[in-house]
Amino acid sequence: MPNKVSSKIANALWLLCALSLSGCSSLYQTSNNEGSQAQNRDKPLEFDQESLLIKTKNQAGLIELYKAQLQQQESPQTRLKLAQAYFDGHDPESTLFVLTPLLSSSTTLPRDELYFLQGRAEYQLGQIEQAQRSLSAALQVNPSSAKALNSISIIYAQQGEWRKAREGFIRARELMFDDVTVKNNLALIDILEQDYQSAAARLLPIYLNGQADDMVTANLALIMAKIGSYEHLRSFYGQQYSDEELYLAYLNLREVQLMNHTPAKASANSKSHLLKPNNNNTNVVIPVEETKDASFVF
């Protein structure tokens, strides 16, 4: 009998010991977790700050953040981020200034990305020949860069090389570049060639699917006016303007001659165009993207 009691006591002690060890382990883990959380709270919030600035598209804040980081330590990755922030903040001159050291040194960063950003900045400054060379360099490094193909095809189109531009846009689309962007650019080639039916066939599905932005809608308005479909113009802008205003705009659009432009000749970021109907003092402002100029999308 005493042996059975002793055995039960021993088992109970082992169980108590196991529970104690388990409790200690849990307590240790909890303590460690709390300590880790406290350490995380004490760490600077640079990553969270960067994510927030990117999400809110606060380019000025990103520029200051990256400059502060570069003052502490030079980093090719951070320098490229700074160059991109300047570009997204519509400062191509600063983009090239910050980018130059990366282009003239050996770095593990993808060279095609550097050349692409260089080309985009040069284009915005109206340096078209330099931009074409930079984009060509990007494609030499990475022939499958869809965004470089799209961008250089815009230059081809503005130089009147429409066949070459069309081939480039189609190749970019094959490489899964954004459908809406490519179809808008192909439609502009159609318009320049006065093939309005093909242009409408490209863009109308985008509008009907609810994917059209102001630029696509404006291009569609021009196309439909050229085709002679006033009702489409009413469906696009009927809630914003009266029938009289829209009809005057429709007559004006029918007379518009689409022209190529580069940033040196027209603003690439203009988002409104003043339509002035002939022989009438009424001005109708329709939110479009440079209706009289071919507005390709990068």
- C-alpha span between 209 and 233 (Å, rounded): 17
Q: Name beta bridge partners: 284.
A: 275
3-state secondary structure of 284: strand
Query: Quick one: pLDDT at residue 160?
Result: 93
**Above 80 in pLDDT, residue 155?**
yes
The answer to whether 245 touches 234, Cβ cutoff 8 Å, is: no
The answer to whether 197 touches 203, Cβ cutoff 8 Å, is: no
For residue range 30-40, what is the model confidence (pLDDT) as tens digits? 444 555 555 55
- C-alpha span between 92 and 98 (Å, rounded): 10
The tally of CA atoms less than 13 A away on the side-chain side of residue 296 is 29
Residue 87 makes CB contacts below 8 A (sequence gap 6+) with: 95, 117, 120, 121, 124
For residue range 193-248, what is the model confidence (pLDDT) as tens digits? 999 999 999 999 999 999 999 999 999 999 999 999 999 999 999 999 999 999 99
pTM to 2 decimal places: 0.75
| Lookup: tokens for 265 | 């000749």
